C-alpha cells in the first residue's frame, strides 16, 4: 500500500459515500491525546496520538448518527466494529500521527483508530474502509473468535 495513494472508502448510511484522502482527514480539527493502550493479554503502553475526531469525520460524510454501528476494514484483512456511542465519543480518533510525527507502518500508517475507552483489539490499524450500518455481518476479527464484542475499560 502506497501511503500517497491511500484513501478511506466510506459507505453505508452516509450522505457522501466515496473515497476520502488523508489530506481531507487532516483538514479536520486536529486533537492530540495520550492514550493508554490496554491489551487483553495483560500488557499496556501509553502513546501520544494525533488525528481527527471520528465524530467530526462522521459529520463531514453525513453519517446517519442514529445508525447502530460503524465498521472498518484494514489493509491487512483485519476488521472491527464499534457501537455508535463509541464512534462518537470525543476521544475516538482517526489517528495519523504518533508523538507529533506521521504514523509509521508498524503503528498503523497512514490512519488507525485510537479509542481510549476500549481494549487494544478495537483500535484497528491500516484503515481502508469505513461503513455506517444497522446490521453487522461480522463483529470483529477477535470477536468472531470468541472475544467480547463490547470490551470497555
Within-domain flag for 26: yes
> pLDDT band at residue 151, thresholds of 50, 70 and 90?
low
> pLDDT band at residue 153, thresholds of 50, 70 and 90?
very low
Within-domain flag for 37: yes
Reduced 3-state DSSP string for the chain: CCHHHCEEEEEECECCCEEEEHHHHHCCCEEEEEEEEECCCCCEEEEEEEEEEHHHHHHHCCECCCCCEEEEEECCCCEEEEEHHHHHCCCCEEEEEECCEECCHHHCCCCEEECCCECHHHCCCCEEEEEEECCCCCCCCCHHHCCCCCCEC
pLDDT tens-digit series, residues 107-128: 999 999 999 999 889 999 999 9
Within-domain flag for 137: yes
Within-domain flag for 150: no
Task: Tell me which residue range forms the domain holding 121.
Answer: 3-145
Within-domain flag for 153: no
Residue 94's pLDDT is: 98
pLDDT tens-digit series, residues 66-84: 999 999 999 999 999 999 9
CATH number at residue 119: 3.90.420.10
Pick 150 or 38 by higher pLDDT. Answer: 38
Residues 87-107 have a mean pLDDT of 96
* Number of structural domains the chain divides into: 1
Within-domain flag for 151: no
Amino acid at each position: 500500500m502506497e501511503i500517497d495513494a491511500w484513501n478511506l472508502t466510506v459507505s453505508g448510511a452516509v450522505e457522501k459515500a466515496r473515497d476520502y484522502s488523508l489530506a481531507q482527514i487532516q483538514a479536520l480539527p486536529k486533537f492530540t491525546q495520550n492514550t493508554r493502550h490496554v491489551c487483553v493479554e495483560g500488557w499496556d503502553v501509553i502513546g501520544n496520538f494525533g488525528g481527527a475526531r471520528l465524530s467530526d469525520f462522521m459529520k463531514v460524510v453525513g453519517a446517519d448518527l442514529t445508525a447502530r454501528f460503524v465498521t472498518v476494514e484494514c489493509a491487512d484483512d483485519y476488521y472491527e466494529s464499534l457501537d455508535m456511542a463509541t464512534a462518537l465519543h470525543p476521544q475516538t480518533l482517526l489517528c495519523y500521527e504518533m508523538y507529533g510525527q506521521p504514523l509509521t507502518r508498524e503503528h498503523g500508517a497512514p490512519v488507525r483508530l485510537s479509542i481510549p475507552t476500549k481494549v487494544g483489539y478495537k483500535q484497528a490499524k491500516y484503515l481502508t474502509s469505513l461503513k455506517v450500518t444497522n446490521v453487522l455481518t461480522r463483529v470483529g476479527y477477535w470477536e468472531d473468535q470468541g472475544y467480547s464484542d463490547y470490551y470497555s475499560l
